[in-house]
Amino acid sequence: MPPFLKISCFQKSKKKYPLLKFLNAIAPYLFFALIWLLCILILNFTLGSALAPNPIAILKKLWALIYSTELFRQLGITVWRGLVGVFFANIVGLILGVLAGKIGFLLRFTAPLVAGLQSCPPIVWISFVMVWAGTGSLVPIATVFAATVPFVFSNTAQGVMGLPVRVLSMSRLYDVPFWRVFTKVTLPGILPYWLAGLSTVLATSWKAAAVAEFMGSQDGAGARIYWCYSHLNLEELNVWAISLIVLGILLEGLFITPLRKKAAQMAAQGEACL
Amino acid sequence: MSLISLIKVTKSFETKLVIKEASFTLEARSVTLFTGSSGIGKSTLLEIMAGIQAPDTGIVKRSAPISFMFQDNALIPWLTAEANLSYILPKNSDPKKWAERIAALLDFFQLEKGDYPHTMSGGMRRRLSLARTFLLKRPIIILDEPFAFLDENWHHLVSSLIVEAYRDNAALVIAEHSLNPALKEALEEKITVCELQDSPIELRLE
């Protein structure tokens, strides 16, 4: 039997041929890049180069933005604003989440508000911040903060409520000091929930930041998209669209998926011996 | 000297009455074994004695600190075997001073200090839970099914620890389905066996 027909041999070949493994990993991306290429060619043919530029022009523009480092600068601004918003959302969400998890009344009282805030579109926050603080970095940072803090809050509160009750009983029985319970039981117990929340928050943050920049900032990837749209610069618009998709794939692969896996792994380990 | 006193304690879960006006006194240097079938309320009785559960009515008096072995072990999943033991050390105690005793207990129970509970078998988790219970040498030791998940060889070793604690003047309360032969052999007539046959438990041991 040829080796590629046997699963065990195929698995061995993965170890033997790293190139094959690499091609296997990038195949979906190449496939969708090909689809994009076909679509852009069809649009270019039907709508004309003014509305749908040809792929060569887009790639030239991409190279120019990479060469001038403008691409990285603008994407960096967007990611930085997202991270600042996430940072403050985590501080506020963790403190309030721990309190709500400990005080059942507080959680019940805030539940409708949190549910409302979680489903609230970022446009609401963008409008308010633009009215109160004008345009600039504050708009995307405040938008990311407002869009992500309910997730951190509810996940942290769930984590506190999911702490092993028997372990807490055992801690009281042996008079374990508060700080030891907090650092050895409470914080690690919350961690899987917080990591799961953080993965959602990271995925939301850069998208919210880009939308906020589109409406209320002078720089950042979102602001560049607005500039391209208002100047009908379709070549650069395509470049920013591709860049944001690639950024999303990188964030997903490098941070969000590993965080979700780690959270699921920790939760499973905890359940295995309780 | 009375270490724990239960006076007319009653406990029910929703509509099910589990303990009805139970009275019990635990003296120092004694071993009391509660036997009975599953679900009769042995664990509830032990947890009320330890203060883990509150009775609906009645009075519980305790005059000494308690070591308690939980039926479900109550181990901390993300801490190693060694860290699970050092977790219960008294406030401001010197960990170095305790390191030797922790190492000795881990050695006795054939446990690796760096192993996590989720990597252990049911028997190993039971042994770690036992090691934690015997770590502090408290005057009251309550054991909820200490022989569960352990083979016969371990029954003898655990019984020897119980005898050692008894000789150190500890008062022990144990819940089991029946009197374990290894425990019977080790303690002979020193053990007070209390058979709980009917639910709700109506205990009169004063």
Residues B111-167: pLDDT tens digits? 999 999 989 999 999 999 999 999 999 999 999 999 988 988 899 999 999 999 998
Nearest CB partner across the interface for B78, out of A166, A170, A188: A188
Q: What is the pLDDT of residues A176-190, one digit of tens each?
A: 999 999 999 998 888
Q: Is there a contact between A175 and B90 if contact means CB atoms under 8 Å apart?
A: yes
Size (chain A), residues: 274
Asked if A166's CB is within 8 angstroms of B72's CB, the reply is: yes
Report residue A41's pLDDT band, with 50, 70 and 90 as the boundaries: confident
Closest CA in chain B for residue A166: B74
A26 and A75 in a single domain? The answer is no
Contact A169 B74 (CB under 8 A): yes
pLDDT at B205: 67
Contact A173 B90 (CB under 8 A): no
Q: Kindly state the tokens that stand for A194.
A: 């917080």
- The helix/strand/coil state of A223 is helix
CB contacts < 8 A (A, B): 58
Of the candidates B51, B70, B79, the beta carbon closest to that of A184 is on B79
Identify the pLDDT of residue B68. Answer: 95
Q: In chain A, pLDDT over 70 holds for what percent of residues?
A: 92
Query: A12-16, A148-152, A176-180, A202-206: lowest mean pLDDT where?
Result: A12-16
A153-165 pLDDT per residue, tens: 999 998 998 888 9
Residues A170 and A214 occupy one common structural domain: yes
- CB under 8 Å to A43, separation ≥6 — which residues? A51, A52
Residues 6 or more apart whose Cβ sits within 8 Å of residue A13: A3, A4, A20
The answer to whether residue A133 scores a pLDDT higher than 80 is: no
Interface membership of A266 toward B (CB under 8 Å): yes
A173–B136 C-beta distance less than 8 A = no
User: What ranges do the domains of chain B cover?
Assistant: 1-65+141-206, 74-137
* Token couple for A201: 């928050």
Whether residue A1 is predicted with pLDDT greater than 50 in this model: the reply is no
Q: How many domains does chain A have?
A: 2
CB atoms within 10 A of CB A228: 18
Tell me the chain A residues in contact with residue B73 when contact means C-beta distances shorter than 8 Å. 273
The amino acid that residue A67 corresponds to is Y
My answer on whether A197 and A103 are in the same domain is yes
Residue B173 Cα distances to A221, B130, B166, B191, B193, angstroms: 69, 14, 11, 10, 10
Shortest distance, CA B188 to any CA of chain A (angstroms): 31
CATH number reported for the structural domain that contains residue A183 in this entry: 1.10.3720.10
Q: What residue of A is the nearest CA neighbor of B91?
A: A177
Per residue of chain B (206 residues), give pLDDT as tens. Answer: 689 998 888 988 888 888 888 888 998 889 999 998 888 888 999 999 999 999 999 999 999 999 999 999 999 988 999 999 999 999 888 878 899 999 999 999 999 999 999 899 999 999 999 999 999 999 999 999 999 889 888 999 999 999 999 989 899 999 998 888 888 888 877 888 888 777 777 767 66
Please indicate, yes or no, whether residues A93 and A78 belong to a single structural domain of this protein. Answer: yes
Architecture of domain B1-65+141-206: 3-Layer(aba) Sandwich (3.40)
Between these two residues, A270 and A106, which has the higher pLDDT value? A106
Please tell me which of the candidates A175, A177, A270 has its beta carbon nearest to residue B77.
A270
Is the pTM higher than 0.80? The answer reads: no
What pLDDT does A274 receive?
53
The Cβ of residue A114 has, within 10 Å, a number of other Cβ atoms equal to: 19
B34-62 burial string, b = 16+ CB within 10 Å, else e? Answer: bbbeeebbbbbbbbbbbebbebeebebeb
Q: Closest approach of chain B CAs to the CA of A163, in angstroms?
A: 10
CA within 13 Å, CB half, A174: 29
Examine the domain organization and report whether A58 and A104 are in the same domain.
yes
In whole angstroms, give the CA distance from residue A12 to residue B131: 45
Pair A188, A262 in one domain: yes
What is d(CA B158, CA B152) in angstroms, rounded to the nearest whole number?
10
Only one residue has tokens 């270490």, namely B3
Question: A174 lies in which domain range?
Answer: 53-272
pLDDT for A5 equals 47
